[in-house]
Amino acid sequence: MNVIIMGCGRVGAHLAGMLDKEGHKVTILDIDSYSFRRLPPGFGGQALVGNGTDEEALIKAGIQKADVFVAVTQGDNRNVLAAQIAKHIFNVPKVVCRIYDPIRQEMYQELGILTTSPTKTGSQALREAIGG
Amino acid sequence: MYIIIAGGGEVGYYLARMLLSEKHEILVIEKDPKRCQLIAEDLGDVVLRGDACEARTLEEVGTGRADMLIAVTSDDEDNLVACQVAKHKFRVAHTVARIKNPRHKKLFEKLGIDATVCSTELILAHIEQDLPSHPLVPLLKMRARGLEIVEVKVAPDSKMVGKKLGDFHLLPNSLVCLVVGKRKGPQIPTKDTVLEAEDEIVCVTEAGSEEKLRSILTGL
């Protein structure tokens, strides 16, 4: 699969490493090249400086041939904007988006974007760890 | 009308001040406590500190009964989300978003935002109006009816020059409502009005016909 990941934070970099290892073609975007230090050693994908909410930058990253677009920057709204550009402007078949705010996450899920809220999944995992 | 303004920066502040003077009910939502204080001291009890992208904040300010939400924070993404939450969670009839990146206009429209205002594009349109390419300047969009009001200067090499409006089938669903001649000044056109080079005309046109109209009037 051709995968574009927007945001090279801990999650973005880790996910990029996983997909690269599995043999997928990965392109990771971040507005700060310093973020690419988080990529695992031996990462074989492409790392590009660019703003994922800008169509030109997305085209440069190869969005027209992407099978999957993942938005995992720190900003919920930035992720939502980029995800909707990928889905509605470039018709990327699979668009996944991280949204910390559970209410917004549910709303965008209803609007047809695959979303995940670390707030919900994280608390759930912690609750299970606590037990009792 | 009850109008919610998301973002209490300079644009939000002046917008609130003007709308208040027109006796509308206004509420500004702003994250920064300093801006909130400034607005409250100046305009009174019309500001709430909070995040307009959060459904809870919008719930608190009674967005369900709002006639309009105008999102004028400095970030396109925040304006988009504030409008989308207002639309989908609270069924606000009119949402308006300020955008900076002109390319975002198409997406916002597709996502159901009722109007976008792009300062970058407005500035560009005004610069281009004075350039020899004579493009069309969009003045107002009536989205619900699919119509647009545009202003365009007739180029010397346009095939419209010297022709009567009546014997030139301009475009289906386009109507010339005003001709401003260089010497003649503004006039309401009739079918006998003859167009001259450099005339500025104001036209109602179907959205999507701008390109055709532009090529006829500018000769490009």
Domains of chain B: 2-122 (3.40.50.720), 134-218 (3.30.70.1450)
Best probe of the B interface among A31, A54, A73, A77, by most B CBs < 10 A, is A77
Asked if residues B189 and B179 have their Cβ atoms less than 8 Å apart, the reply is yes
B78 inside 8 A of chain A by CB: yes
Distance CA(B19)–CA(B3), nearest Å, equals 9
B60 inside 8 A of chain A by CB: no
Mean pLDDT of B95-118: 94
pLDDT over threshold 80, residue A124:
yes
> Which residue of B lies nearest to A82 if distances are taken between CA atoms?
B77
Q: What is the pLDDT of residue B215?
A: 76
B6 inside 8 A of chain A by CB: no
Lowest mean pLDDT among A74-78, A93-97, B53-57, B203-207: B203-207
Give the CATH architecture of domain A2-130: 3-Layer(aba) Sandwich (3.40)
pTM of the model: 0.77
pLDDT, greater one: B185 or A34: A34
Mean pLDDT of B2-23: 96
Nearest of B121, B148, B152 to residue B136 by alpha carbon: B152
Amino acid letter, residue A76: D
pLDDT over threshold 90, residue B145:
no
Instruction: Give, to the nearest 10 degrees, the angle between helix A118-130 and helix A102-110.
Output: 120
Percentage of the residues of chain B whose pLDDT score is greater than 70? 92
pLDDT over threshold 60, residue B134:
no
Distance of alpha carbon A80 from the chain centroid: 10
* ipTM > 0.95, yes or no: no
Q: What is the pLDDT of residue B161?
A: 83
> Which residue of B lies nearest to A56 if distances are taken between CA atoms?
B103
Nearest of B83, B91, B94, B116 to residue B1 by alpha carbon: B94
